[in-house]
Amino acid sequence: MYAAVVLVVFACLTDTIHADHHQPCHPPNMTGVMTVITMKGEIKAVGAFTYDSMGKKLRFRSNDSHPTNTSVGLDLLMFFEQGVFYEIDSKNQTCEKKKLDMDLNPLDIPDDAKFHSTITAGSRSIEGEGLKVNIWTGSIPNMKGYYSVSVTMGCLPVSVLYFSESAPMLFSNMEVDLEIKDPDLLLVPSFCLGQPLEESPEGTVNSFIHEFM
Ligand SMILES: *[C@@H]1O[C@H](CO)[C@@H](O)[C@H](O)[C@H]1NC(C)=O
Ligand SMILES: *[C@@H]1O[C@H](CO)[C@@H](O)[C@H](O)[C@H]1NC(C)=O
Ligand SMILES: *[C@@H]1O[C@H](CO)[C@@H](O)[C@H](O)[C@H]1NC(C)=O
Ligand SMILES: *[C@@H]1O[C@H](CO)[C@@H](O)[C@H](O)[C@H]1NC(C)=O
Kindly give the distance from the C-alpha atom of residue 113 to the centroid of ligand 2, in angstroms, as a whole number.
Answer: 34
Ligand 2 contact, 65 CB (< 6 A): yes
What CA dihedral angle connects 70, 75, 76 and 77, to 10 degrees?
150
What residues does each domain of the chain span? Answer: 2-13+24-212
CATH 2.50.20.10 fits 2-13+24-212, yes or no: yes
Count, in order, helices (H) and strands (E) of the chain: 1, 11
B/e letters for 24-45, b = 16+ CB within 10 Å, e = fewer, are bbebbbbbbebbbbeeeeeebb
Residue-level pLDDT at 20: 56
pTM for the full model? Answer: 0.83
The mean pLDDT of 58-86, rounded to a whole number, is: 87
Ligand 1 pocket, Cβ-based, cut-off 6 angstroms: 29, 52, 54, 180, 183
pLDDT at residue 8 above 90?
no
Confidence category of residue 21, pLDDT binned at 50, 70, 90: low
The mean pLDDT of 20-48, rounded to a whole number, is: 89
Nearest to 107 by CA among 31, 211, 41, 44: 31
Ligand 2 contact, 48 CB (< 6 A): yes
Per-residue pLDDT reduced to its tens digit, 150-209: 999 999 999 999 998 778 899 999 999 999 999 999 999 999 998 888 888 888 889 998
CA angle 70, 97, 90 (to 5 degrees): 50
Strand partners, 118: 134
Residue-level pLDDT at 42: 86
Substitution site in 49, 51, 52, 79 for ligand 1 pocket (most atoms within 8 Å of beta carbon) = 52
Residue-level pLDDT at 60: 96
pLDDT at residue 12 above 60?
no
3-state percent breakdown (helix, strand, coil) of the chain, nearest 5: 15, 40, 45
Pairing relation of β-strands 75-79 and 114-122? unpaired
Substitution site in 34, 59, 61, 63 for ligand 2 pocket (most atoms within 8 Å of beta carbon) = 63
Substitution site in 65, 173, 185 for ligand 2 pocket (most atoms within 8 Å of beta carbon) = 65
The mean pLDDT of 2-10, rounded to a whole number, is: 44
* Atom number, ligand 2, closest to the C-alpha of residue 64: 1
CA distances from 172 to 96, 111, 204 (A): 26, 21, 25
Residue-level pLDDT at 11: 42
Backbone angles phi, psi at 120, to 5 degrees: -115, 120
